[in-house]
Structure 1
């Protein structure tokens, strides 16, 4: 994978550090980036010298989610088109969820939408004190792709975040059980490295079977079924015709994503101020 453009792999002792690196787009998940990440996950899963995997972003953002501008450029609009496109998104997130060894997410800055789902798929999360989590895509007529949040933070908190599109800070994320540890920005890598080294003391077969037991427990709770059911709903939701969605899409195409996001956020500015 030395030819990967957006994903970098560094194996240190028994830990594989996978870094998402598309800083000019705040690590937006393009088709190409997701393809690279999926391939590297396959590599580390098969490497028996690796006991723990770390998935990290950049300083400004872990990831702001799927590449909306690319979706608009590709002309994805019908439910059938959305269903096919979302299939790859869900597969990547669930690959992280089901990896046969523990995955630690290291989060700095923005962690939104599909990026938040990717982080939630990690077994443990460590974030900086400036981290922000949420799924704001509902504010322009989209919705969660891989529906993991209800299983992590419960019904009421999930309902509020997914109905409003609000973001939460690191402190609130820890209160809700979304993250394990909150650390100063400069301490993130050292803290994750120490945690990974501690986990790596456990033999790999034990880690694999423990991970399998945990994922099967969530399967028994209905997580995979909920994700599968939401796939079809998300395809219909994303193809729904609303004035807000049309305006947003038109702005992305004519003035760029930054202008479209400014328009979206301006609609909620008064409500957010109260």
Structure 2
């Protein structure tokens, strides 16, 4: 079973993050597979719209914390190399010259929230939950897209508290385009994608390129790369709570480490 599955139907390319037992956590092999899938569909003229989704009821809980701890990353330069791969996936989606849609069900957290935000549009189910809780375990956002989507005040609140928001709130603050019932997600996304796909590919490419360049002119790409440099240092920074969290991951597993986090901040509920 592949950790990233793809299919192409009627001009729509579907990319599915496929680690359901790990809530589709973005392990290094998932990041690599998804980035390759985006590149392949970018080059395939049979694909006019690309959809990203997660398998079995969740989009993704973000980057695989247990894998990162196991890798033993310590120096800023080590973190920079690892985080560059993660940023590379989100920015490949953002800068793709074909329209992209995030189909989000269930959890959409941390790096996965960034990946969804990198999509041009997001359709979410009414049970979807969004957030970037990295600060609660001594980390921070990797691909800093949220300020360009939500603005200063809500971004500050979400990134400094690590709080999550439900789908209705996500719609209210402009994080998603539409909220539907879980059973309607695929059909709604497909209808939107088919409507977009009526336009000739050359027109879609040029329009998308113009929109990407507009955001780049606002400083989005500069902000993302500046944050990457800071994130590498942040992840290497020493803090007692962070050290305890990582030690729990190593010795007792991620669940115990998350329980430690939840005792301090509260569970990720909305």
Report the TM range for the smaller structure's normalisation.
over 0.9
Q: Which runs of 5 or more structure 2 residues have no equivalent in the other structure? A: none
- Note the alpha carbon deviations across 1:67-87, whole angstroms, 9 max, x for none: 110011110111111111111
- Note the alpha carbon deviations across 1:12-71, whole angstroms, 9 max, x for none: 111011111100110111111111111111110111111001111123320101111001
> Does residue 78 of structure 2 align to residue 75 of structure 1?
no
SS at match of 2:122: strand
- Note the alpha carbon deviations across 1:154-183, whole angstroms, 9 max, x for none: 100000000000000001101111100000
User: What is the aligned partner in structure 1 of residue 175 from structure 2?
Assistant: 178
> Does residue 86 of structure 2 align to residue 89 of structure 1?
yes
Pick from 149, 152, 166: which aligns with 2:149? Answer: 152
TM-score between the two structures when normalised by the length of structure 1 = 0.96
> Does residue 227 of structure 2 align to residue 230 of structure 1?
yes
CA distance in 1 between partners of 2:137 and 2:53 (Å): 27
SS at match of 1:62: coil
User: What is the aligned partner in structure 1 of residue 23 from structure 2?
Assistant: 26
CA distance in 2 between partners of 1:186 and 1:149 (Å): 28
User: What is the aligned partner in structure 2 of residue 129 from structure 1?
Assistant: 126
CA distance in 1 between partners of 2:156 and 2:86 (Å): 22
CA distance in 1 between partners of 2:230 and 2:241 (Å): 19
> Does residue 44 of structure 2 align to residue 47 of structure 1?
yes
Pick from 179, 194, 198: which aligns with 1:197? Answer: 194
Contact 1:27 1:61 in 2 (8 A): yes
- Note the alpha carbon deviations across 1:108-145, whole angstroms, 9 max, x for none: 00000000000000000000000000000100100000
1:152: Cα distance to partner?
0.2
CA distance in 1 between partners of 2:266 and 2:186 (Å): 35
CA distance in 1 between partners of 2:169 and 2:255 (Å): 27
CA distance in 1 between partners of 2:248 and 2:211 (Å): 44
> Does residue 260 of structure 2 align to residue 268 of structure 1?
no
The 1:265/1:60 distance shift into structure 2, 3 A limit, reads farther
CA distance in 2 between partners of 1:269 and 1:15 (Å): 40
Aligned residues: 270
CA distance in 1 between partners of 2:63 and 2:226 (Å): 20
CA distance in 2 between partners of 1:257 and 1:181 (Å): 33
CA distance in 1 between partners of 2:30 and 2:225 (Å): 23
> Does residue 35 of structure 2 align to residue 10 of structure 1?
no
TM-score between the two structures when normalised by the length of structure 2 = 0.98
Q: Which runs of 5 or more structure 1 residues have no equivalent in the other structure? A: none
User: What is the aligned partner in structure 1 of residue 32 from structure 2?
Assistant: 35
